[in-house]
Amino acid sequence: MSKEDVLKKAMNAVIDGDPDAALAAANQAIAEGINPVEVISEGLSLGMTKVGDLFNNEEISLPFVIVAADAMTQAIAVLEPHIPEEHKGEKVGTVVMGTVEGDIHDIGKGIVATMLRVYGFEVYDLGRDVPVQAFIDKAKEVNADIIGSSTLMTTTLPGQKALQEAISAAGLKVKTMVGGAATNQQWADKIGATAYGENATEAVQKAKELVQQ
Ligand code: B12
């Protein structure tokens, strides 16, 4: 099977909400030496974008989104250990990551955390629905260079602003990076975040820039 076919298989498995097909595509990609990052970004993620569009247009209901997310999560778990390490040597920087309080979307945040690790960052992933204080406490504890926060909902966007304010109030010398489908560069500028990343590749690039500043 060609690479394009395997990527398409991964994409369709998410759209169909079929974990078995998603796992089969992931295993096939590994067996055929296809870069797992491509399977995530050009297969599974495209499927999830399509699922989001279908949900948005009310063509599918939430349970379908749940099974699609499950298929994607299972396939990512198989692929992640096979992502080639891009960085050898000293740690590039320390990042504390999480999805803000009230928001349970964590697939994209997880991909960003994985990619940062692949590129040599030490990442403390606090998970999802993370209160502001937990970001602050962890950043202090591990002397983080960057706090990365994710949010996919307009209703939970204020959590990133609250985090930014709490960092200033605590006098913490840490850079901040925001991302997730509800965010953009204007939002990052508005709340005073140091950087915005549209996807995992950009997140790595921005994080590298931030630790060099
Ligand atoms: C999958 C999904 C779910 C799954 C989540 C499973 C999980 N474990 O994450 C489930 C089914 C649980 C779910 C639940 C809900 N969802 Co939902 N969900 C989605 C969906 C379809 C896809 C999200 C996704 O995983 N995308 C794939 C990943 C790879 O992309 P990503 O998250 O954007 O991440 C990339 C970038 O954004 C970036 N990035 C992400 N984080 C970070 C962080 C940093 C620091 C950086 C630099 C970059 C970065 O890099 C990532 C990789 O490239 C979106 C639609 C969409 N278009 O986003 C809706 C969506 C986000 N959900 C939505 C809603 C409303 C809900 C619910 C409230 C539904 C309900 N009625 O209950 C609940 C939320 C409950 C809660 N309290 O959080 C809305 C939000 C609307 C809004 N604008 O506020 C959306 C937009 C759907 C819609 N069009 O209505 N959802």
pLDDT tens per residue across span 29-68: 999 999 999 999 999 999 999 999 999 999 999 999 999 9
> By residue range, what is the domain housing residue 97?
93-212
Q: pLDDT (tens digit, 9 = 90+) per residue, 98-135?
A: 999 999 999 999 999 999 999 999 999 999 999 999 99
- Among the candidates 32, 62, 82, a domain finishes at 82
Residue 184 pLDDT level (bands cut at 50, 70, 90): very high
CA-nearest residue, atom 70 of ligand 1: 62
Q: Are residues 122 and 41 in the same domain?
A: no
Are 132 and 170 contained in the same domain? Answer: yes
With respect to residue 156, please indicate whether it lies within any of the assigned structural domains.
Answer: yes
In this structure, the answer to whether residues 106 and 182 fall within a common structural domain is yes
Q: Is 125 buried (19+), middle (13-18) or exposed (0-12) by CB count in 10 A? A: buried
36 lines ligand 1 (CB under 6 A): no
What is the average pLDDT across 170-188? 97
Query: Is 110 contained in some domain?
Result: yes
**For residues 18-28, b (16+ Cβ closer than 10 Å) or e, as one string?**
bbebbbbbbeb
Does the Cβ of 15 fall within 6 Å of ligand 1? no
Confidence of residue 88 (pLDDT cuts 50, 70, 90): confident
pLDDT score of 87 more than 90? no
107 with 16, same domain: the answer is no
With a CB cutoff of 8 Å and minimum separation 6, the contacts of 186 are none
Pocket test for ligand 1, best of 57, 105, 183, 206 (most atoms within 8 A of CB): 105
Ligand 1 atom with the shortest distance to the CA of 111: 52
Of 82, 117, 132, at which residue does a domain stop?
A: 82
- Whether 63 and 104 share a structural domain: no
Specify the number of domains making up the chain: 2
Same domain, 104 and 207: yes
Asked if residue 88 belongs to a domain, the reply is no
One domain, residues 139 and 194:
yes
Among 31, 51, 82, residue at a domain's last position:
82
In CATH, what number is assigned to the domain containing residue 150?
A: 3.40.50.280
In CATH, what number is assigned to the domain containing residue 41? 1.10.1240.10
